[in-house]
Structure 1
Amino acid sequence: MTIQILASESLGVRSMATLVRTNDVSILIDPGAALGPKRYGLPPDKLEWERLRLLKAKIKEKIKEADIIVITHYHYDHYDPEWAELFKGKRLFLKDPEKNINRNQAKRAKELIKRLLSASCFYEVAEGKELCFGTTKVIFSGPLNHGPDERFGAVVAVHVKSPTLNFLHSSDVSGPVQEEALSFFYKTSPEILFIDGPATYLGPRFGLEECKIARQNLVSLVRDLKPSCLIMDHHLLRDLSWKKWAEDIYEAGESIGTKVLCGAEFINKPLLLLEAERKHRYKTLKHKILEFESS
């Protein structure tokens, strides 16, 4: 099995797009990417838009290589509705568009399905399904909360198991915080776990207690499951202090030989925290303009 993280916050955009290949099948999970519309009260700059263009082009190319497409929920950093026709001929699994979904995502799901049917693309509901492709098994979780409560609807985690490796893509469980997500992770016992982590950058708006629970759960997962690698990215990497927040997780990993990495490190690329560093870039640009005008 090979695991290729195509886009994520550590690579400069909001995304968890991942291509998983086994000897039997290629699976593209969450083919989409987006930018945070506002951070520190500031819009994305030219550098972020260029990075988004580049990585979306890469994801678009990888769609051609995939046999299976999975959309774990209906936030635009996880899919692009304008790409519906590209899924023709693929086996497409969607988070249930009608159940365990909030109003905003239900509206987006309806629009996506309209586009899919117009392009003669057909889909299957993912939740709870277990599939076999040769020696590869793909297992979808049931509905898992997008965060600490039900406000943002549910997502679907994806477990891919081959004779050589066992991989789990958490989608947006925001932690994990909820027991249902934690239970699925223990049940699948992945060797490599790609997790989104809590939205620590939101502080009290996400929930300080929930951030503590997420950290405790990740420490427990590392100690109990002893995965070869824990990849933390997405929500967590919108915070410049993410590594400090994760100190206990790093310590747990070091004590048992689990690598704790972000997405960029996993694919041997330099970190590019464009959203988290947006304020600094604007400040630097402002200083340069002031220097120019005063010279």
Structure 2
Amino acid sequence: MGLPHIDFNKVDWSRYAYTQYATSETYLCNSIMVFDSLERLGSRAERILFHPLEWDLIVQDEGDRISQLLLMAKDKYRVELRPIAIEGIRVEPEGGPSAKASWDTSVAKLAAFGVVQYERVIHLDNDLTVLQNMDELFFLPETTIAMPRAYWLLPHTDILTSLLAVIQPSYREYTALREDGSAVASGQVGNLKENRFDMEILNGRYGDVAMVLPHKQYGLITGEFRKKDHRYYLGEDAEWNPDKVLAEAKLVHFSDWPLPKPWVMWPQKQLAELQPQCDKNPGTPQESGCRDREVWKELYDDFRRRRKDICKLLSYPAPVQA
């Protein structure tokens, strides 16, 4: 997609980049899927992947999936690999002292503020499907950050979602955000539902000053197809049409709690209870008007097919040592 006032053929694309971060093999595969979509959709911006310092490009054996996937990102998708210290924030478990605690590493996406050689970067979560080219976002009016609103949390809160963030890198902001992250990690800042600490940090600093992106293009979640009340997505008077909604969206984020993410197969009983309901005679042999369910399942099936194809077992050789 172009903009009338900008000739994309004359843009210096070395000034712009998409960023991802991955801290496990699972999320590394997801990041490569995002880069694959950007490539397929004709994005011209550069690509950066932040990953743990201990990862390397030396394939030890056929089971060394992380090194294989890193090589794929570098060689096939022209991704610049950026090792960083991944700082986790301890998430206290539910279920009492015997329950196992986990770590939230979402603050790693704040590293995107530190790539100051770029005029602007777009950070995307990697549990989503990119549907259309989004390079136009690099040319927004001047702003430190732009994000869509987490419309699914309305009317209880009007916070912004960090599933997509258009960022103007800055050492000053990067330093300040790292300090904010340290405050969250030490418990000086309250918890946010679903342990999205990066959202908490970004909203705390920019919630009142960020540019708000239209969520219909840049913030659609799969959970919207499970609802019957779409007023917070559409507005009061608009009519819901799942095909039209999907055609307008630049991305769709997989969010259907308590159903798992698309790389985890659904428990069948849970799926039957939580999948989108048909409009007429739901749950009966005569049910009809099931387009919401069809679109929703197609999104998950597409993700799984692409994941199997893109992240299949590789046979990259170990790099020749000098």
> Under a length normalisation based on structure 2, what TM-score does the superposition of the two structures give?
0.31
> Under a length normalisation based on structure 1, what TM-score does the superposition of the two structures give?
0.33
Choose between structure 1 and 2: higher strand proportion: 1
Larger gyration radius, structure 1 or structure 2: 2
